[in-house]
Structure 1
Amino acid sequence: MEDLELAHIPAGSVTLHDARRKLHRTVDLEAFEIGVFAVTQEQYAELVGLDGLASEVRHPRRPVTDVSWLGAIRFCNAASEWEGLEPAYTYDGEDVTWHVDSDGYRLPTEAEWEYACRAGSKGAHYGPLAEVAWSSLDGVTHPQNVGGKHPNLNGLFDTLGNAWEWCWDLLDPARYDDYRVFRGGGYADDAWSVRASVRRGGGPRMHHEDVGLRVARGGFDAVGAAQGWSAEADLERAMQGEGVRPVGWTPRG
């Protein structure tokens, strides 16, 4: 399999916005690694196969899409096993546990993703949108080969545009139950959606034609909490009220 090229992201902090609850929180992050590129169709096919995907892989350098969150979890574990690393996840059906002390491949937390995407920038984009992201401005009808636009200052390509990317975190458990976050915007989205702060999500088994993944690595000396996420906080958020849960996914900002 083609190597999963990673970039080292130094320790720092990022401020996240919860639009529904009108809250901001600042997260301190330890250093970690994250993929320079989104996982490609070829990489996914070689480790996991094509079962569960809507169509055959025909474009090896395009980001793999139509991958469920559970499919992304399986890919991370398969990549760890391929390289002789301890898998980051154990799971029973849709009940997935992240062993945060593991240094195997995993999905980034939402805080890690936004911090890596921003690369020190404070605005909606880390550069002129047409230069850094495939979006509706380009008029394309499918994801493009990875690395075709300019990278951010962390050396990461396509964190904005081209394909949304799954993260580890729950979207909003009080309102959307088990929906997981995806970030970054896709090739057909307008500028409002292709921003560093925009949050969307879907159920663990849902497939979307413009949602893929980017891997991360980094183990931490903790249990049930790391890099802006904690199981305890998820439980607290789930108890904060009930709301109508949609059939699809809903933009968050």
Structure 2
Amino acid sequence: MIVDIETIDEFLTHRTSDVEEAVRQAAATEIMPRFRQLAAHEIDQKTGPHDLVTDADRKAEQYLTEALTALLPGSAVVGEEAVHADPATYDAIRGTAPVWIVDPVDGTRQFVHGDSGFCTLVALALDGVVHASWTFAPARDEFATAIRGRGAVLDGAPLRSGSPVTGRDLDIATSHPDYTTDEEKRALLGLRTEGVVPRPCGSAGLEYLAIARGELDATAFSWEAAWDHAAGLLLVEEAGGAHLTLAGEPFRITGGNALPFTAARDAATARRVVGLLAAGA
């Protein structure tokens, strides 16, 4: 089945709420019953002690894979856990079919530790462009949706990122040191300057939501995995924000970005953060 942009537009006009329901059901069925109830055998390490996976991640991704492809026949899924098992599946992002980009539990470390700071992320992309996104923080009962050109909402209320308060230090969430190269570490050191307050990030999806709702000024991230960024970047865009890579270009979910990159409450702040990163590099 060939799915083009007109088909995507029609789908988003009539089926957005069905996607939301699928996300909510995945959380209700596979994630929340395991929250603060995980046994040791349900938790594994992937690449190290900060990179965890649980039965909730795996089963929620399986649930969403089946539900989302049923909603949009002809679509593919790029999910964090499936890519970990078979890296070649990531190539679907660069293909011609519409692709669902799924992070079943973004903030698995927080989830494992019983902290509410995790979420489920789903984005729908075609030809490298994200057209819609769904961000659900089930332990906080917060649901944000963004549709390209139609705005962003949180629990039905419009989201507007606004601009940082003049004269106040910039609050910036940054990459964890374990996930940065030496060159990226040098760039991030550019944020350690007067007027900026950097801190380690938590769930990337919730950091993007914080920007979209005007509670965080910017991020500075140094990894490209689309499941962490696709949903949140559209949410920020549709709330009035912007994102730029170290090369001064918008972030591309298909990869090949100059890192680190930033998402910010407005375009001026994005340029300011990139300037600081470039100075550090």
> What is the TM-score when the length of structure 2 is the normalising length?
0.30
- Between structures 1 and 2, the one with greater strand share: 2
Q: Which has the higher contact order (CA 8 A, sep 6+)?
A: 1
* More helix as a share of residues: 2
Indicate the structure (1 or 2) with the bigger Cα radius of gyration: 2
